[in-house]
A and B are shown apart, each in its own frame.
Chain A
Amino acid sequence: QSALTQPASVSGSPGQSITISCTGTSSDVGGYNYVSWYQQHPGKAPKLMIYEVSNRPSGVPDRFSGSKSGNTASLTISGLQAEDEADYYCSSYTSSSTLRVFGTGTKVTVL
């Protein structure tokens, strides 16, 4: 099972919107609505930001939103803030024997 493909880096100015893509196959992202997104600050554990493609856990700002089209899921951060600077990872359920797969990760830089 190969990792899902994400851009290595995305940047934006405060207040702007950015979108991170997560591309898989019909065996994972395209086949199930079990895509989740995680934020990880340096030296910290990951934090769940989105589950089931577009649902936010309690406490996650509504600036974070998720969507999916075909084999590609996306995370959009609107009204970018300095504290959003972090690494972001997508994850999907997969029909392969390995059950779960993460994306390659995207470093978000706030200019």
Chain B
Amino acid sequence: EVQLVESGGGLVQPGGSLRLSCAASGFTFSSYEMNWVRQAPGKGLEWVSYISSSGSTIYYADSVKGRFTISRDNAKNSLYLQMNSLRAEDTAVYYCARDSRVTANAFDIWGQGTMVTVSS
């Protein structure tokens, strides 16, 4: 079964750091581009970051640029998001999402999400 499972969420104080992980299974992870997408409580989806299959190309939303770092370990079938200098507005469910190989800009597989709460 094709699956993405996020972990690493939790409660962190403003200014703190957190590292999210996304474990992939059921497909050849190293062949796919990956993304992080977040959703604040009661709000809409916000694309956060993209990484190419090799890890050589990376993009970030302006709201997280300079604070968040996306990375991947193809040998471990894992995607990561290092989040530093966290703010209250970073509170959200964070999803990892796979890019379709059929086309651009189509997230065809999503994880169940992991909740990040930034609060003192």
Q: Residues of A with Cβ closer than 8 Å to B?
A: 1, 3, 32, 34-36, 38, 40, 45-48, 51-52, 55, 57, 87, 89, 91-93, 97-105
Contacts and interface: CB of A to CB of B under 8 A. Distances in A.
B64 to A, nearest CB: 10
B47 A36 contact: no
Given A46-B107, A57-B108, A100 B102 contact: no
Given A34-B105, A98-B61, A103-B44, 20 more contacts: A3-B44, A45-B110, A45-B112, A45-B113, A46-B95, A46-B110, A47-B110, A48-B100, A51-B100, A51-B105, A52-B106, A57-B108, A87-B44, A91-B45, A92-B105, A97-B59, A100-B59, A104-B44, A105-B44, A105-B45
A38 B45 contact: yes
A40 to B, nearest CB: 8
Contact of A98 (B37, B60, B106): B60
Interface residues of B, number: 25
A48 B44 CA distance: 15
Interface of A is mostly: strand
A99 B59 contact: yes
Nearest to B113: A45
A104 to B, nearest CB: 6
Interface of B: 35, 37, 44-47, 50, 59-62, 95, 97, 100, 102-108, 110-113
Nearest to A89: B45
Which among A3, A36, A104, A105 has the highest number of chain B CB atoms within 10 Å? A36
B102 A51 contact: yes
Contact of A48 (B45, B59, B106, B113): B106
Nearest to B111: A45
Given A45-B111, A45-B112, A48-B108, A101 B103 contact: no
Given A36-B105, A51-B100, A52-B103, A101 B47 contact: yes
Contacts of B110: 45-47
Contacts of A32: 105
A100 B50 contact: yes
A20 to B, nearest CB: 13
A100 B105 contact: yes
